[in-house]
A and B are shown apart, each in its own frame.
Chain A
Amino acid sequence: MLRAGCQLLGQASVAKTGSNNFALEFVRWRRKPRWLPVAKSKLFRVPERKKQTEEERTELMRLHNQYKTQLRSVRQYLREEVIRYEETSTADHIVLTPEQEEAEFQRCLDENAAWNAAIAKEREIRLAKERDEKVVYVQERLEAKKLRDEERLERANARVLHEIEQSKTFITRENLDAAIETALANPVDHNFAIDMGGNLYYGRNATQFPQETTNEPPQQALSN
Chain B
Amino acid sequence: MSLTPASGIGRFYKQSAKIIRFVRQGCTNRPFYHIVVMERRKNQHQPVIEQVGSYDPLPNDFNERLVALNTERIRFWLGKGAHLSVPAAELLGIAGLLPIHPRTYMTAWRNRRKAADEAQAEATSS
Contact residues in A for B126 (Cβ distance below 8 Å): none
A130 proximal to B (CB < 8 A) = no
Binding site for A on B (CB under 8 A): 1-4, 24-28, 43-47, 75-76, 78-81, 89, 98-102, 105-106
7 nearest A-B residue pairs (beta carbon): A82-B79, A63-B102, A78-B79, A70-B99, A17-B45, A79-B79, A78-B78
Is A25 in contact with B47, judged by CB distance below 8 angstroms?
no
> B98 near A71 (CB under 8 angstroms)?
yes
Interface CB pairs A-B, < 8 A, 8: A63-B102, A66-B102, A67-B99, A67-B100, A67-B101, A67-B102, A81-B75, A82-B80
Q: How far is the CA of A74 from the CA of B74 in the complex (A)?
A: 12
Q: Give the nearest-CB partner of A83 in chain B.
A: B79
* Number of A-B pairs, beta carbon distance below 8 Å: 71
Instruction: Give Cα distance in the complex from A22 to B80, angstroms.
Output: 31
Query: CA A63 – CA B24 in complex, angstroms?
Result: 29
Q: Is A157 an interface residue (CB 8 A)?
A: no
- Chain A residues with Cβ below 8 Å from B79 are 75, 78-83
A112 in the interface (beta carbon within 8 A)? no
Main secondary structure of the interface of A (DSSP, over half): helix
**Inter-subunit contact B80/A17 (CB<8 Å):** no
Band of interface residues on A: 20 to 34
A66 to B106, CA, bound (A): 14
Whether B28 lies near A25 (C-beta < 8 A) is yes
CB-nearest residue of chain B relative to A23?
B25
Chain A: minimal CB distance from B39 (Å): 13
A16 partner residues in chain B, CB cutoff 8 A: 43, 46
A171 to chain B, nearest CB (A): 91
User: For residue A28, which residues in chain B have a CB less than 8 angstroms away from its CB?
Assistant: 28
Distance in Å: Cβ of A69 to nearest Cβ of chain B: 9
Is A20 touching B99 in the complex (CB atoms < 8 A)? no
Complex: chain A residue closest to B81, CB-CB? A79
CB within 8 Å for A23 and B99 given contacts A75-B78, A78-B75: no
Considering the chains assembled together, what is the distance between the CA atoms of A194 and B126 in angstroms? Answer: 136
Would A18 and B46 count as touching, CB distance under 8 A?
yes
Q: Does A19 contact B (CB under 8 A)?
A: yes
**Bound: A20/B51 CA distance, A:** 14
**Residues of B close to A83: CB separation below 8 A:** 79
A22 touches B75 (CB 8 A): no
Using Cβ atoms and an 8 Å threshold, which residues of chain B touch A64? 102
Interface residue A139 (Cβ < 8 Å from any Cβ of B): no
Residue of A nearest to B97 (CB): A74
CA distance A70 to B105 in the complex (A): 15
User: In the complex, A16→B41 CA distance in Å?
Assistant: 13
A83 to B102, CA, bound (A): 29
A17 touches B43 (CB 8 A): yes
CB-nearest residue of chain B to A80: B79
CA distance A18 to B44 in the complex (A): 12
